[in-house]
Amino acid sequence: MSDSVIYKTQGQIAYLLLNSTPVNGLGQAVRQGLSDGFAQASQDDTIKAIVVGSNIGPFCGGADIAEFSAGTFADKPLLPQLFNQIDASSKPVIAAIDGLALGGGLELALACDYRVATSKAKLGLPEVHLGILPGAGGTQRLPRLAGIANALQMIVSGAPVSAQQAQQLGFVDLVVKDGEDVIAAATNYAEQLLAQQAPALNCADMPVDRESLPAEYFAEFRKSIERKTRGFYAPERCIQAVEAACVLPLMEGLRKEGELFLECINTPQARAQQHLFFAERAAGKVPGVAKDTQARPVKKVAVIGSGTMGGGIVMNFLNAGFDTTMLDLNAQALERGVGVIRKNYEITAKKGKLTGQQVEQRMGLLTTSTQYSDIQDADLVIEAVFEKMDVKKAVFKTLDECCKPGAILATNTSTLDVNEIAEATSRPQDVIGLHFFSPANVMRLLEVVRAEKTSPDVIKTVLGCAAKIKKLPVVVGVCFGFVGNRMLEPYGREALRLLLEGATPEQIDRVLTEFGFAMGFCSMIDLAGNDISYLTRQAHPEVTHGDPSYGALVDSLYELGHYGQKTGCGFYQYSGRDKSANPDVITLAEQAAFKHGITRRKISDQEVLERCLYPLINEGALILEEGIAARASDCDLIYVNGYGFPAWRGGPMQYANEIGLTNVLDALNKYKAQLGEYGERWFEPAPLLLKLATEGKNFNAV
């Protein structure tokens, strides 16, 4: 037997203990070990019951995800068949679950006859987040054990439940205290079963109760998730599998589940979502930050600035239980800021997502101040003041004077040079950028900007804090716009230029939302306010490389006071929640086109898509080459989590990998030739893109 599963016996009980770090992924060796151990226990007449547990702590994190792209998930023994054998066992099989039972891990437990879990265990079927469905019996066994509605909810949301919830839902038999030896508890349970001569159970004998649900149940469920799952392939296949469980005997349902699983596993979506899974893990490994780097302790946090951004940042830390001081030199603004935070919490409480007591607890962690001397003992200070270099430098100079040695001084700048800010202090090694995305208490992405002198332990510390406040930190280097906004620049440039060449805001937004973006570029600018982009362009003329053309239309909108939603007019006109075309946009576009010598023409949807996306990808390649991002998958995480890029496409770089870098390269060259001087200026392929495409490689090779 392989070392991946330990087989041992004690009296009448055999133990199969998964033994594969880090999470007992069900790779081929583990499957083989389970299969061999199960066969041995089944054939041994002295064995009357079998306990399946873990030798390393957590029960099981499911199938080995790396095997999907490698294709080895199809190497025998296959998980579904193995679990069918366990389900059909004539001897009672008891799962002993500590920590987690996810995906194939829960499916293994469901194939057992009884389940004992510790109170801290989490049980779930997260396959939908990997672009697939539970393919080893989960969609057929869970509805039988927990009921259709509960099973459907768990499978389509992918969200785990606690052991206590699982017990209420009917698929855990006994919950023992956290810290109790779960194998010993399962052994006791097995002994009781044997004493009672309790039978081995088979899911095939369990009915599925479809009648208690209304006839239109599935149709309504589909409607309820429509918006959230737009564009995703797997959720509908999950539903179809559960529908099959309602009408088919177990073995036929399992066959149907297998078919649907195979339909999902070979899709670009499955590859994209699995790419994102590994991308998140890779982002935590930062070049130059050794694994054993000691983090600095962080207990007290201070945020400078009480505006929308400052308030949102404060809420993150209050939510995570940090003592937090919000500092603003303007007492009135400070009071307003506190009011906004309280109001936000009260709205959440009204929705039933927080209790009144929790609101007070969080507010109780907040102190306010108008004096820098009050934050001298803060471990982490985050500045969120006006986006102007002089203002930021003055703040950092003051922080340098008042903060204790070793305090981490972070700036929330989205555009300014963090090296320059760091140099305003006598301790640049303690300075770092923490670029939160708006709304800061909601958005998961956090660009962690590593300046030239930022020390590794500062990076390690902020990564730890980010995890505590439930953010996804991605470490990037210093350049204008860092990774996210720098890649956004060419994307926006092309959208604006296309308006001059003949596209409409409606066409651009439709093409981008059909591609899967949460919002089209024009709607996004209207939401953020084009005054912001105007002011940024004014402050950083270098970004336009002396090209006055593409900003011309949006500048005219700005000059007319049409800032977007906040003024009721921008690329669109707004009346309450209704949005309609702004007829002036075409006239302004025609005037700007005339002024800049641009011939207007009919623009195809394909051109809109290629011209918006490919320069963004090309910028990503430049960013990689310059070392601003450590890996292409970091750019993908930033786009999916901060810019509404469809997760089912895996991010822009993964999308390029999927469609082929040669196609991106050819299209860039085509537009370079086709668009005259403008094309020459903006469509030069990045050397890295050229190199990889020529070598037949993709961005994962970097």
Q: Which helix (H) or strand (E) holds 505?
A: helix 505-515
- Closer CB to ligand 3H9, 135 or 143, in the complex: 135
State the minimum distance, in angstroms, from the CB of residue 599 to ligand 3H9. Answer: 52
Query: What CA–CA distance (Å, rounded) separates 119 from 99?
Result: 9
Q: Which of 686, 667, 566, 677 is nearest to 619 (CA)?
A: 686
Q: Candidates 48-56, 95-103, 241-249, 526-534: pick the segment binding ligand 3H9 (CB under 6 A).
A: 95-103
* Shortest Cβ 95–ligand 3H9 spacing (Å): 15
CB of 633 to ligand 3H9, least distance (A): 12
Site string for ligand 3H9, 98-127 (x = CB under 6 A): --x-xxx--x------------------xx
Options 4, 25, 144, 483; binder of ligand 3H9; rule CB under 6 A: 25
* Helix boundaries (H) for 596-674: 605-625, 632-642, 652-659, 661-674
> What is the separation of C-alpha 478 from the centre of its chain, rounded to a whole number of angstroms?
23
Of 67, 107, 401, 447, which one is the catalytic site residue? 107
The answer to whether residue 127 is catalytic is yes
Among 6, 14, 18, 23, binds ligand 3H9 (CB under 6 A): 23
Residue ranges in 44-161 assigned as alpha helix (H): 66-70, 79-87, 104-111, 138-146, 148-157
Q: Is 159 in the site for ligand 3H9 (CB under 6 A)?
A: no
Q: In whole angstroms, how close is the CB of 159 to ligand 3H9 at the nearest point?
A: 12
Among 92, 134, 143, 473, binds ligand 3H9 (CB under 6 A): 134
Interface with ligand 3H9 (CB under 6 A), residue from 79, 315, 469, 613: 79
* Three-class SS of 27-53: CHHHHHHHHHHHHHHHHCCCCCEEEEE
**Shortest distance in whole angstroms from residue 265 CB to ligand 3H9:** 8
Q: Please, what is the minimum distance in Å from the beta carbon of residue 377 to ligand 3H9?
A: 31
Is 180 in the active site? Answer: no
Q: Does residue 463 belong to the site contacting ligand 3H9 (CB under 6 A)?
A: no
Percent of the chain that is helix, strand, coil (3-state, to 5): 55, 15, 35
Nearest distance from C-beta of residue 28 to ligand 3H9, angstroms? 12
* Residue 627 CB, nearest approach to ligand 3H9 (Å): 22
Is residue 456 within 8 Å of residue 432, measured between CB atoms? no
Round to whole Å and give the CA distance between 48 and 190: 9
- How many whole angstroms separate alpha carbon 236 and alpha carbon 641? 23
Residue 550: strand, helix, or coil: coil
Q: Of 100 and 498, which CB lies nearer to ligand 3H9 in the complex structure?
A: 100
64 binds ligand 3H9 (CB under 6 A): yes
Q: What is the dihedral of CA 420, 424, 425, 430, to 10 degrees?
A: -20
- Name the residue with the smallest CB distance to ligand 3H9: 103
Q: Does 634 bind ligand 3H9 (CB under 6 A)?
A: no
Piece of the chain touching ligand 3H9 by CB under 6 A; list 129-137, 198-206, 528-536, 683-691: 129-137
3-state secondary structure of 88: coil
As given in the structure block, the two tokens for residue 418 are: 């963090």
CB of 462 to ligand 3H9, least distance (A): 18
Catalytic choice (67, 127, 625, 684): 127
Examine residue 82 and tell whether it contacts ligand 3H9 (CB under 6 A): no
5-10 vs 13-18, strand pairing mode = antiparallel
498 binds ligand 3H9 (CB under 6 A): no
Please identify, using beta-carbon distances, which residue of 239 and 688 lies nearer to ligand 3H9: 239
Does 135 bind ligand 3H9 (CB under 6 A)? Our answer is yes
Size of the site for ligand 3H9 (CB under 6 A): 24
**Inter-residue contact 508 to 548 (CB < 8 Å):** no
Reported as type and span, the H/E element at residue 508 is helix 505-515
Site for ligand 3H9 in 406-425 (CB under 6 A): none
Q: How many CB atoms lie within 10 A of CB 536?
A: 17
User: Which residues have CB under 8 Å from 145's CB, separation 6+?
Assistant: 110, 151, 169, 170, 171, 203, 206
Q: Is 63 in the site for ligand 3H9 (CB under 6 A)?
A: yes
Closest by CA position to 30, among listed 75, 89, 92:
75
- Among 117, 130, 161, 589, interactor with ligand 3H9 by CB under 6 A: 130
Instruction: Residue 449: name the closest of 632, 305, 289, 628 by CA.
Output: 628
Residue 281 in the binding site for ligand 3H9 (CB under 6 A): yes
Starting at the edge strand that comes first in sequence, how are the strands of the sheet with 472-476 ordered?
A: 366-369, 323-327, 300-304, 380-383, 408-411, 431-436, 445-449, 472-476
Return the number of the residue (75 or 346) whose C-beta is nearest ligand 3H9.
75
| Binding residues for ligand 3H9 (CB under 6 A) | 22-23, 25, 61-66, 73, 79, 100, 102-104, 107, 126-127, 130, 134-136, 138, 281
Catalytic site positions = 107, 127
